[in-house]
A and B are shown apart, each in its own frame.
Chain A
Amino acid sequence: MFNLFARPSLLKKNGVIGINRRNAELIMRYNPRHLYPLVDDKLITKQLALDAGIAVPELYSVIKFQRETRHLSTLLAAHDEFVIKPSKGSGGNGILVIAGRFGDHFRKPSGDLISLGEVEHYVSNILSGMYSLGGVADKAIIEYRVKFDPFFQDIIFQGVPDIRVIVFRGVPVAAMVRLPTRESDGKANLHQGAQGVGIDMSTGESRGGVLHNRYCTSHPDTRMTTSGLKIPHWDTILQMAIACADTVGLGYLGVDIVMDRDLGPLLLELNARPGLNVQIANQTGLQGAIQALEARASIPASADERLQLVRSLTDIHLTETTA
């Protein structure tokens, strides 16, 4: 029994936030609904980010109408590698990555080939709203395929690692790297078996990791250790996260960032309802940092001061966990 279920009182003591609390006290309270479209539509997010000077993957083209799918081959002519994704998709759903061409076909990162007709069908599914919330009509975004920073290359087997930063009231409070595994089929989704690796907020150093809700310190496929790695461009990542929060105005925000070999950190997407897996990855509850920030009458406007705040919060984390 003890192994299957944690005692609620112990979870509470460790400052773990549950979905109900997240919904009632973070999302409803700090995320005004009228701001959701800014993050739910990736095209709007991209535009806002560009205006604010936040680096994003380059937009190749947008497909809005079914008849445009016929011109897909011309639209794609200039690019061998690209990503097609729904503008209003959620949870990384509906993303098609093309890693190259093979004759008339396109090649997926897994090596599978896919015909132009299949790509057209895929785009048309996106437009009909197959991946959007509530099935509303959607747009398909074709954009730059991120060239992954070699930093992660040795650790993971395949797929797209990304960094998720949780920003509360404009201050980054927690972060993790999501490493795809063979089991997760190259996807960075913890539910599907990806590995979550917590990051120390003040140093940018990785901690152990979590696989299927269990603590582990090495990647399941490569057996490489996941702890003690220093995430490159860490300060830039934090500054991007802060800039994103300021741009969209959401008080509880998930910022997903990928690391490009040449371009450095790029903003992938924002999330108005970020999940709670970051707590498992870091083996720390969010409540401590959030409480400390809620207690403050105001948050400093400058990014530097907020970064200092981030470091002071780390101490809270530590005292929370050792207490």
Chain B
Amino acid sequence: MPLISDDAPRGKQLIAVKDISVKIWGFLLIGIGLTIGGYKVAFLGLPISPNQQTKTWTVQAKVNFKGNGGPAIVDFTVPKITPGFSVLDEDFISSKYGLALQEQRESRVAQWAVRRARGEQLLYYRLFVAPSTKQVAWQEKPDFPFPPDFEEPYASAIRAIIDDVRKESADVATYTRELLQQLNAEQPNENVALVRSDINAGKAWTLTIIDILKGVRIPGRVLWGIPLTEATNDVKLRQLLQVHNGDRWLTFDPYSGAEGIPNNFLAWKTGNDPLIELTGGDRAEVRFSVTSSYRDLIEVTRLGAEPLDSALLSMSPIALPVPNQNVYRLLLMLPIGALVVVIFRTFIGVQTFGTFMPILMALAFRETQLFWGLLSFSAIVMIGLFIRFYLERLMLLLVPRLTAILIIVLILMLMLSLISNQMGAERVLSVALFPMVILAMTIERMSITWEEHGAREALYQGSGSLLVASIGYLLMSSEQLTYVMFVFPEMLLVLLGLSLWMGRYTGYRLTELHRFRSLVSRE
């Protein structure tokens, strides 16, 4: 005998276990989704709302030289590693020059070449950057330098300084800091004064420090960069001192001794290789200019994160080509609509035609706007219903009848569009984007409900569908929500968790509180 499971008490426990696992899964999914989202906000700098703007910088290097009339080759070093900034884009503007970009370990060299260069030549390089919190560092490991031979009396002065500093330092970082402090002291001792008297400021100062550091076999080099503080037309490259502590490069200001790369310092190149090398011409000159502008933060994040290895961003739809992005902008909103349907059906108890038809209606409203959508939808369904009632009397078979309704819906839509075109209402025109099949099915189902359960039930379900579709539309067309779903697709996990939770909701629906009220009021 096929009998009813006889393990009800055990089954009750199984239900409890099911409830717990649903809760755990929900927590896990929601937790994972929120964690990923939070990480992207906190560490990748993604804004939570759209249209947030950020300052971006454009650095332009203008290279000019005088051509000799023969072939000319310009090697120009351009940035590769830019801590504190992410590169959004770059341009090489050089009409007749061929361009080759050589990647080196810590830099890139743009090589412009031309067969014949006569007279004044102009080349441009433009770099677009935005502030970034992304960590990047120089990887190259230097050899230990040999102590250089200083001439007397500097040799003994430097030796004295070295010994002095060594007493008060523990490692490369503290040594460098102490050395810079002594060398830049306001009241220098005589050794320092002697060293300082020999050099004129600028390039030589950093190089001198590097030489002194060689005396204790600390590898050092110059870091060249551009301060991005204001828009100016003539910016000079600034130097910073970098020392290697065996592990990584530490950066110091050679004058103040401040450690680290200052904010707004755009690293351009390292080392002593020249910024520009020219063959086939003379009087090569590089001028830097800086401008700033504001761009959408999301755009900046996308551009900036692209060349970097942010797995999280490459896993999000903003990494897709633009046409696909637009499709996903729409698709990612469907779960929101579905959630609205769940809430209305499970928690409120509103009846709709079909489970997910309201979502499709809401999608259609996106094209027509709510008011015209509701109006044209109701109009077409109403006229369609009357025609459907007539078709009923013709006694057509089901599928041909549905086809007939489909054609009638198309005719109605065409007429509506033509009439609205005559009247100059553009909105209604887009009614053509209504899913026709949905309209036809609505008419068919509504007329059956009408006949079986009466007009009241049909209108009740019809208006329920429209209500859910309208609210779904309002949410699905929210710019903020679209943005969040698009930029944080991990919210899908949150929605999944929520729908698991709601799937085990066994409480009353709002409409049931009304329906069953007689069971209470009689008490």
Which chain A residues have a beta carbon within 8 Å of chain B's beta carbons? 2-8, 10-12, 14, 16, 18-21, 24-25, 29-30, 35, 66, 93-94, 117-118, 120-121, 124-125, 128-130, 135, 169-170, 185, 189, 191-192, 210, 213-215, 245-251, 276, 279-280, 283-285, 293-299
User: Who on chain B is nearest to A169 by CB?
Assistant: B4
Given A251-B5, A298-B6, does the pair A6, B395 have CB atoms closer than 8 Å? no
Of the candidates A8, A94, A283, A299, the one whose C-beta lies within 8 Å of that of B4 is A299
B505 to A20, Cβ gap below 8 A?
A: yes
Closest A residue to B503 by beta carbon equals A24
Docked-complex contact A296 and B8, CB < 8 angstroms: yes
**Stretch with Cβ within 8 A of A (4 or more), from B9-17, B196-204, B315-323:** B9-17
Are A11 and B516 in contact, CB atoms less than 8 angstroms apart?
yes
20 contacts between A and B (CB under 8 A): A6-B513, A6-B519, A7-B520, A16-B512, A16-B516, A18-B508, A21-B506, A25-B506, A118-B395, A120-B395, A125-B397, A128-B399, A130-B448, A169-B6, A191-B457, A283-B518, A293-B8, A294-B9, A295-B9, A296-B8
Decide: A246 and B517 in contact? CB cutoff 8 A: no
Most buried by B among A6, A120, A128, A285: A6
In the bound assembly, the distance between CA atoms of A191 and B452 in angstroms comes to 11
Please measure, in the bound complex, the distance between the C-alpha atom of A11 and the C-alpha atom of B452, giving whole angstroms: 31
Task: Kindly identify which residue among A10, A121, A214, A245 contacts B520, using a CB–CB cutoff of 8 Å.
Answer: A10
Give, as a whole number of angstroms, the nearest-CB distance from A174 to chain B.
Answer: 13
> How distant is the Cα of A299 from the Cα of B504 in the complex, in angstroms?
28
In the complex, the answer to whether A5 meets B514 with C-beta atoms within 8 Å is yes
Please determine whether B12 and A294 come into contact, CB atoms closer than 8 angstroms. Answer: yes
B453's closest neighbor in chain A, by CB?
A192
Quick check: B399 and A29 within 8 Å, CB to CB? no
B2 an interface residue at 8 Å Cβ cutoff? yes
Q: How many residues of B contact A (CB 8 A)?
A: 41
Take A8-B507, A14-B519, A213-B517 as given contacts and tell me if A130 and B398 are in contact as well, using a CB distance cutoff of 8 Å.
yes
Contact for B9 among A4, A191, A247, A297, CB less than 8 A: A297
The answer to whether A5 and B8 have CB atoms under 8 Å apart is no
Given the interface pairs A6-B514, A8-B508, A294-B12, the reply to whether A251 lies near B448 with Cβ below 8 Å is: no
Flag if B8 contacts A169 (CB, 8 Å). yes
With the chains together, A189 CA to B510 CA distance in Å?
A: 22
7 extra A-B contacts, CB within 8 A, seeds A94-B452, A215-B522: A5-B517, A6-B520, A8-B508, A18-B507, A20-B509, A213-B514, A251-B5
Q: Which single residue of chain B is at the shortest CB-CB distance from A285? A: B519
Given that A213-B518, A215-B522, A251-B5 are contacting pairs, would A21 and B507 also be in contact in the complex, using a CB cutoff of 8 Å?
A: yes
Residues in B482-523 with C-beta less than 8 Å from chain A: 504-510, 512-523
Question: For residue B449, which residue of chain A has the nearest CB?
Answer: A93
Give the docked Cα–Cα distance between A32 and B81 (Å).
64
CB nearest neighbor in A for B1: A246
CB closest residue in chain A, given B7:
A297
Given A3-B517, A213-B515; A250-B4 close (CB under 8 Å): yes
CB distance from A26 to the nearest CB of B (A): 10
Instruction: Write out the residue numbers on chain B whose beta carbons fall within 8 Å of the beta carbon of A118.
Output: 395
Does B260 touch A at the CB level, under 8 Å? Answer: no
Contact A294 B8 (CB under 8 A): yes
A280 and B515 in contact, given A6-B521, A18-B509, A25-B506 (Cβ under 8 angstroms): yes
Give Cα A257 to B2, complex, Å: 22
- In the assembled complex, the CB of A66 is this many whole angstroms from the nearest CB of chain B, namely 8
Report whether A283 and B522 are in contact in the complex, using a CB–CB cutoff of 8 Å.
Answer: yes
In whole angstroms, how far apart are the Cα atoms of A257 and B516 in the complex?
Answer: 25
In the bound complex, residues from chain A placing their C-beta under 8 Å from that of B521 are: 2-3, 6
Which of B509, B514, B519 has the largest number of chain A CB atoms within 10 A? B519
Chain B contacts for A191, CB-based, 8 A: 453, 457
